[in-house]
Structure 1
Amino acid sequence: MDEYECNIDAEGIAKDIALLSQLTTRVRVYTTDCNLPDMVLDAIKSLNANVTLSLGLKMVRNLDVSIKQLSDFKRIITTYPDELIDSVWIGEEPISKGQLSEFELIGYLDFATGYLERTGKNIPVGTSETGSQWSPNLADHVSIIGVNINPFFGGLEANLSTLWTYDFLLEEFVNRLDIRDTTAQLMISEVGWPTEGGEIGDAKANEDQLQNFMDLWVCNNKDSQVGWYWHTAFDGPNDKDRQWENHWGLFSNDRLLKNITIPIC
């Protein structure tokens, strides 16, 4: 579940959760803006859905924004039952996007981890970054290592991209950092395939290649020790200036399933 522009309401979020609960047991948000996590958690409770929330905080250069996100985090953590929140994610590629230095990100990670420990919450804390931005030092400050890998940008056709994704994870991340002995959980924090926006090499943004990639990825990785989040559930609003950005969903932005079939494993 991606960021919203505050044009959301509790009824719409409840519809989202009712739909997504048929596909997954875990939903991730990227921000506390607009009371989005509250609406997701309220919907999970009211629907008695078998879903947990991966709570993301938007950590940016603007200190006021980051402080507000942390304040919301503290309120949410102490308001809702522990079993509804499976993890806390501090930032979404904040180093890659030039929003935070590694030192600043580690400070926020340590704050969140310390707060959870002081309040007796056993909820893991991590961050999501591209593989090149992870360092052994950063990995030492998380209990979840999230790596965004979007194989579309590798330029291979979809039926080769599942292997490419794991080759990238092993060669460009695990081997480079030598983190085989880490106690942190390794997760692919974004993986998916766009349906509009053009092509890169043999990788074409369309529904056929989304279907091919999904067929190979979902069932092959259903029981993988490396967790993963599909990027993303719903398309964003149409925007001709954002080539691929708003077209990664399995559903259109009005909750209609694209011309694809969800794999049954």
Structure 2
Amino acid sequence: MSYNNGGYTEQGSSQALQSGGNVAAAPAKSRRGLWIGVGVVAALLVLGGIGAGVGVAVSNKNKSQNAAVVPGAGDNSQSNSGSSSGSSGNNSTDTDNQYANFAPTPGLQKIFYGMAYTPAGAVPDCKVSQEDVIKDIQLMSQMTNIVRTYGAGCNVPGLVLNAIKLTKVDLKVYLGNYITPGNDDSYNTQKQTIEDALKQYGHDNVLGVTVGNEVMLNACLDKTITDANSPLVKDAADYIVAKIADTRSSLAALGFTNIKVGNSDAGSYFATSVLEVSDYGLSNVHPWFAHTPVKDSVQWTWDFFEENNVQPAALLANKPEMVIAETGWPSGSKWANTTNNGAGEGGEASIGNLQIFLDEWVCQSNAKGIKYFYFELFDELWKDELYGGVEGYWGLLDSNKNLKPGITFPTCLISS
């Protein structure tokens, strides 16, 4: 991201443009969205039989890894298609409570309003397992009451809802449908996957369905503009509006009228027309990418969110609820020259500054009643390998899902 005219675009640090084959042409945060889209495409390949050799190899591998291991997991060769909720029937039973009776993890406390979550293996290879998702749900249930996902490829909705059912935790979810304007096949496949998961595992734990993630950001970047209300990107906004309406109609037809429908985008890139039809807006607000030292990061995030999201939304007739979709601080960087994004002293990506951000952000934001999803649960190795920089260092946990050494959770528990 870079700071522009009171906002910031998600373009990453210019230092991230490294030689040696590092993929840095796409914006830092939108690259993540690109690969969520790739996961959806991988699911579509299996569904449609395109690239049959690849589809068979992926489905067979996942079948052997997942199908017979977890109750209710079913045949993941179907779940990867995105058209199945991952089981031939609603047989999510755990007769000996092996998944519900899990030991508390040392160092974890339930202090976060929400957690941003992508299952390991879902991106970019669509190789997520039910066992891994169960472990993640067990971990997150000790840290928060609410989780948000990004896309419905690789049967993420079914795997998450099944894991919640098996672990018997009271965890709520905002499910995501990662859309690309013009790609109706991807949208429809993900919508069906979400609906199948709701029908199989129930909707009691689902608070909302988020249609689109950073669509307007990417549309504006493509046109090299910063105004999400520009006529140049109206087609992208219209596409989101249409898919929100379609999602709401489909959920209502199934009787799921209590599930909200919203949109997620970068903090400076919400189109007014999109918010006008949204029940909620999830806003990505990252102080590190905005060249902000850690000592100023919390106040900057509050101010940015209030001025760019909360206040404008309050002026709309439908008054969509605004929630911070992503905020956090990186604990390191792959390369020394990308550790600081231009903030000067105190702007480094480090364990020490991550701890400062946690200490300053969590308790004060909870006390203020600010709703947010912390970014993110664990480091994602694929991002470090593909993009470098700070991309793979945003987790509270390392890639092995252990609390990072040197990190201590603040003591301000949220209510269950």
TM-score under structure 2 length normalisation: 0.60
Structure 1 portions without partners, runs of 5+: none
Q: Which runs of 4+ in 1 moved over 6 A?
A: none
1:67 aligns with 2:214: no
**Cα RMSD (Å) of the superposition?**
2.0
Match of 1:32 among 136, 139, 152: 152
Contact in 2 for aligned 1:55/1:85 (Cα 8 Å): yes
- For residues 18-56 of structure 1, the C-alpha deviation after alignment (integer angstroms, 9 at most, x for no partner) is 111110111111111111221111111111112112101
Contact in 2 for aligned 1:136/1:179 (Cα 8 Å): no
Larger mean CA deviation between 101-110 and 111-120 belongs to 111-120
Amino acid aligned to 2:279: S
1:173 aligns with 2:309: yes
Describe the shift of the 1:31–1:130 C-alpha distance in structure 2 as closer, same or farther (beyond 3 A). same
Describe the shift of the 1:245–1:179 C-alpha distance in structure 2 as closer, same or farther (beyond 3 A). farther
Describe the shift of the 1:242–1:68 C-alpha distance in structure 2 as closer, same or farther (beyond 3 A). farther
Structure 2: how far apart are the matches of 1:138 and 1:225?
25
Aligned to 2:240: 105
1:151 aligns with 2:287: yes
1:111 alignment partner, SS class: helix
After superposition, residues 58-207 of structure 1 pair within 5 angstroms as 58-61=178-181, 62-98=183-219, 101-121=236-256, 122-175=258-311, 179=315, 182-197=318-333, 198-200=339-341, 201-202=343-344, 203-207=347-351
Higher alpha-carbon Rg: 2
Higher strand proportion, which one? 1
Structure 1: how far apart are the matches of 2:189 and 2:316?
36
Contact in 2 for aligned 1:31/1:57 (Cα 8 Å): yes
- For residues 63-112 of structure 1, the C-alpha deviation after alignment (integer angstroms, 9 at most, x for no partner) is 32222112212222322222111111111111212397000011111111
Structure 2 portions without partners, runs of 5+: 1-116, 223-234, 334-338
Contact in 2 for aligned 1:135/1:177 (Cα 8 Å): no
Percent of residue pairs identical: 28
1:264 aligns with 2:411: yes
Larger mean CA deviation between 165-174 and 179-188 belongs to 179-188
Contact in 2 for aligned 1:186/1:226 (Cα 8 Å): no
Aligned to 2:364: 220
Give the count of matched residue pairs: 265
Contact in 2 for aligned 1:234/1:253 (Cα 8 Å): yes
1:223 Cα deviation from its structure 2 partner: 4.3
Higher RCO by CA contacts (8 Å cutoff, separation 6 or greater): 2
Amino acid aligned to 2:206: I
Describe the shift of the 1:215–1:189 C-alpha distance in structure 2 as closer, same or farther (beyond 3 A). same
Structure 2: how far apart are the matches of 1:26 and 1:118?
26
